[in-house]
Amino acid sequence: LLISNLELFILIVLIAFKVYNLSWLERQFASRLFSAPPTATLEEAMAEF
């Protein structure tokens, strides 16, 4: 990654961790708003980091 892309890289990692930490209730609410709730695993987040 280029240094100019560092902020975008950090944002992607933070989003992956936030999605990974969604509670059951938050996932149910998201599934009502979207066709499928967002998914992420800890391994995916760490792979991005």
Query: What pLDDT, on a 0 to 100 scale, did the predictor assign at position 9?
Result: 82
Q: Give the residue extent of every domain in the chain.
A: 3-48
Query: What pLDDT, on a 0 to 100 scale, did the predictor assign at position 33?
Result: 85
Span 1-49, pLDDT tens digits: 555 678 888 888 888 888 888 888 988 888 888 877 677 777 777 776 6
Query: What pLDDT, on a 0 to 100 scale, did the predictor assign at position 7?
Result: 82
DSSP annotation string for 1-49: --GGGHHHHHHHHHHHHHHHT--HHHHHHHHHHSSS-----HHHHHHH-
Compute CA distances 19 → 1, 4, 12, 26, 31, whole Å: 23, 25, 11, 10, 13
